[in-house]
């Protein structure tokens, strides 16, 4: 994804590509999609019918059997002269779109939302890799074509991300166009906050997982460093060992295993978003980015940190009025790994023996207002997840030709509103998420004792617009472990022997058919690219 890692990424790609082996055409294994229950949610939500995905990347091979017939329009903003993948750097955009909406049923490769369509904005070439104006032109064109989901697996670092044009523009289109951006967190094992477009507020910044069940954060995935007040990523998803459709399919290698990078984690989240929007459109439900984000955060699954630690809030304190959390997400995984069935249960108000209660709403509050959501009478040992989201507001001034594009000027339209989300037990405060820096609050905790539980939303005075819209989602699980990726000691030991490597735009060989000499070289470059988190 990242400019500063591009040299290592090209090295890894060159080595990996020479070692690729075709996957059996009898059927393509897709354990990555299965790990986020994306195949199950594809049945429950549907396949994204009626939704348009906009990809901002280095081109897509729309003739690939997995994508043929899905592209509605394409435009080159990068001055590359083509909207196809370059032959010297094949497969990045094509691989991303295969995860989104692959539909090669003959060869057994199916993406998360195969009935969706896409528009292809080529905004990257080998010289202008992160040109904000070109990328902005592509964003404006894509939303103008009706794209409601945007994928940006690209970016660069920025010491002042809150005022970066791309971050502001993505926040603007979320509120004004209802377009949800999924953005790769980056592969430098560095700050996921101090960058663009991964520093945006209103969409999803996505980190990467690996392992037998994709339940450990990779060592390369960017995260919230100690000096970051905000927390990114929002979610994580499979980003190593990802099955990809490649742009060189004409040569006889239709698919490749072991694609690596947060580039490929982003469309995992985007594919679930596309499923949700298709379901919402068909069932006359809100598809507001506020509702989508709250539901996906509340329905996520906690996984392990890179070195084996479990999910934990970044910072909290104990006061006389209960626990106060001012940084409610985990520094490496945000709210956790995206979960398609978890999202379905909340969005469709589905309950069963393991999911006892689900609810969500889209509402609004004036300053000093409050809102409650009853969870019911719960028992000790059950588990509550709740997520609250609201917009960062951005204004736009025309900067060039009429219409939304990269020459426009964007700026914050109001100070960020301040909400809090509190869990009440018999009317008494147990735990409160009150982040002053992010536009979200999140609670995930085991029920401490039997009693009547309620979620309380408070809007604090002194910031934001007179009335602020918000999305709120919650669920109650019958067992505390159901929201986590629980593994046996033997499996965890096995995962500990795996090597978590990755770099920008990298394609690694299948682990089942390594060439010994090539694998040694690949491992060497992998060690250079992946730095173990301190």
Predicted TM-score (pTM) of this structure: 0.88
Q: Quick check: is 513 in a domain?
A: no
d(CA 57, CA 90): 12
CATH number, residue 35 = 3.40.50.200
**In the prediction, which pLDDT does 152 show?**
97
For 286-290, 415-419, 456-460, 523-527, which range has the lowest pLDDT when averaged over its residues?
523-527
302, 276 contact by CB (below 8 A): no
CB neighbours (10 Å) of residue 42?
A: 23
Domain count along the chain: 2
Q: Quick check: is 277 in a domain?
A: no
Question: Over the stretch 217-270, which tens digit does the pLDDT of each residue have?
Answer: 999 999 999 999 999 999 999 999 999 988 778 777 667 667 899 999 999 999
**In the prediction, which pLDDT does 161 show?**
97
Domain boundary among 266, 284, 312: 266
Statement to judge: residues 362 and 472 lie in one domain: yes
Domain boundary among 215, 246, 266: 266
d(CA 387, CA 295): 7
Statement to judge: residues 228 and 304 lie in one domain: no
484, 310 contact by CB (below 8 A): yes
Residue 7 pLDDT > 90: no
Residue 511 pLDDT > 50: no
Statement to judge: residues 34 and 139 lie in one domain: yes
Statement to judge: residues 358 and 260 lie in one domain: no
Statement to judge: residues 22 and 125 lie in one domain: yes
Closest CA to 385 of 456, 350, 335: 335
Mean pLDDT in residue range 118-133: 84
Q: Quick check: is 530 in a domain?
A: no
Segments forming the whole domain that contains residue 115? 3-266
pLDDT class of 532 with cuts at 50, 70, 90: very low
Q: Quick check: is 495 in a domain?
A: no
Tokens of 205: 């910044």
Q: Quick check: is 492 in a domain?
A: no
For 76-85, 151-160, 217-226, 379-388, which range has the lowest pLDDT when averaged over its residues?
76-85
CATH number, residue 432 = 2.60.120.380
Q: Quick check: is 216 in a domain?
A: yes
**In the prediction, which pLDDT does 509 show?**
23
Statement to judge: residues 239 and 381 lie in one domain: no
Comparing 333 with 130, the larger pLDDT belongs to 333
Q: Quick check: is 144 in a domain?
A: yes
Statement to judge: residues 36 and 105 lie in one domain: yes
**In the prediction, which pLDDT does 473 show?**
98
Q: At what angle do helices 289-298 and 262-282 cross, to 10 degrees?
A: 120
Question: Over the stretch 66-106, which tens digit does the pLDDT of each residue have?
Answer: 999 999 999 999 988 999 986 555 579 999 999 999 999 88
State how far the alpha carbon of 6 is from the alpha carbons of 136, 443, 502, 505, in Å.
21, 37, 12, 8
Residue 481 pLDDT > 80: no
Length of the chain equals 534
Tokens of 355: 């999911």
**In the prediction, which pLDDT does 521 show?**
29
Statement to judge: residues 392 and 334 lie in one domain: yes
Q: Quick check: is 301 in a domain?
A: yes
Statement to judge: residues 260 and 301 lie in one domain: no
Mean pLDDT in residue range 192-221: 97
Longest dimension (CA), the chain: 67
- Contacts of 39 by beta carbon, 8 Å cutoff, 6+ apart: 30, 33, 110
**In the prediction, which pLDDT does 531 show?**
27
d(CA 83, CA 330): 38
Statement to judge: residues 213 and 79 lie in one domain: yes
Statement to judge: residues 222 and 151 lie in one domain: yes
The pairing of beta strand 467-477 with beta strand 383-389: antiparallel
Residue 446 pLDDT > 80: yes
Statement to judge: residues 249 and 317 lie in one domain: no
Domain boundary among 222, 248, 266: 266
């Amino acid at each position: 994804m990242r400019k500063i890692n591009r040299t290592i990424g090209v090295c890894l790609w060159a080595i990996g590509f020479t070692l690729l082996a075709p996957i059996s055409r009898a059927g393509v294994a897709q354990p990555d999609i299965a790990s986020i229950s994306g195949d199950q949610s594809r049945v429950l939500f549907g396949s994204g019918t009626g939704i348009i995905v906009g990809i901002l990347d280095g081109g897509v091979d729309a003739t690939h059997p997995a994508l043929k017939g899905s592209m509605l329009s394409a435009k080159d903003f990068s001055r590359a002269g083509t909207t196809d993948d370059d032959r010297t750097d094949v497969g990045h955009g094509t691989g991303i779109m295969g995860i989104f909406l692959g539909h090669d049923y003959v060869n057994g490769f199916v993406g998360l939302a195969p009935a969706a369509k896409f528009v292809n904005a080529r905004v990257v070439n080998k010289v202008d890799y992160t040109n904000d104006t070109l990328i902005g032109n592509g964003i404006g064109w894509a939303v103008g074509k009706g794209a409601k989901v945007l994928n940006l697996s690209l970016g660069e670092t920025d010491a002042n991300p809150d005022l970066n044009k791309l971050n502001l523009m993505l926040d603007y289109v979320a509120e004004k166009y209802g377009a949800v951006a999924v953005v790769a967190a980056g592969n430098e094992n560095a700050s996921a906050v101090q960058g663009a477009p991964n520093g945006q507020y209103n969409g999803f910044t996505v980190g990467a997982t690996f392992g037998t069940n994709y339940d450990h954060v990779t060592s390369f995935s960017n995260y919230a460093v100690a000096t970051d007040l905000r927390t990114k990523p929002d979610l994580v998803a499979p980003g190593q060992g990802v099955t990809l459709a490649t742009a060189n399919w004409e040569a006889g290698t239709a698919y490749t295993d072991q694609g690596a990078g947060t580039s490929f984690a982003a469309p995992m989240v985007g594919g679930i978003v596309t499923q949700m929007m298709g379901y919402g459109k068909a069932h006359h439900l809100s598809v507001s980015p506020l509702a989508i984000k709250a539901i996906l955060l509340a329905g996520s699954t906690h996984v392990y940190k890179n070195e084996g630690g479990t999910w934990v809030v970044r910072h909290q304190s104990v006061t006389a009025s209960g626990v106060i959390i001012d940084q409610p997400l985990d520094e490496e995984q945000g709210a956790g790994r995206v979960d398609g069935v978890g999202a379905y249960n909340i969005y469709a108000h589905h309950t069963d023996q393991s999911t006892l209660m689900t609810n969500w709403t889209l509402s609004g509050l004036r300053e000093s207002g409050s809102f409650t959501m009853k969870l019911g009478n719960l028992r000790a040992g059950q588990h509550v997840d709740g997520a609250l989201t609201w917009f960062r507001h951005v204004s736009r001034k025309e900067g060039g030709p009429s219409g939304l594009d990269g020459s426009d000027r964007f700026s914050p339209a109001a100070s960020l509103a301040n909400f809090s989300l509190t869990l009440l037990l018999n009317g008494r405060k147990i735990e409160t998420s009150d982040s002053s820096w992010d536009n979200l609050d999140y609670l995930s905790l085991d029920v401490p004792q039997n009693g009547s539980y309620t979620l309380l939303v408070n809007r604090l005075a002194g910031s934001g617009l007179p009335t602020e819209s918000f999305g709120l989602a919650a669920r109650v699980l019958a067992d505390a472990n159901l929201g986590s990726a629980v593994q046996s000691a033997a499996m965890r030991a096995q995962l500990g022997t795996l090597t978590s490597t990755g770099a920008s735009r990298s394609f690694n060989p299948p682990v089942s058919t390594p060439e010994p000499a090539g694998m040694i070289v690949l491992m060497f470059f992998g060690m250079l690219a992946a730095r173990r988190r301190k």
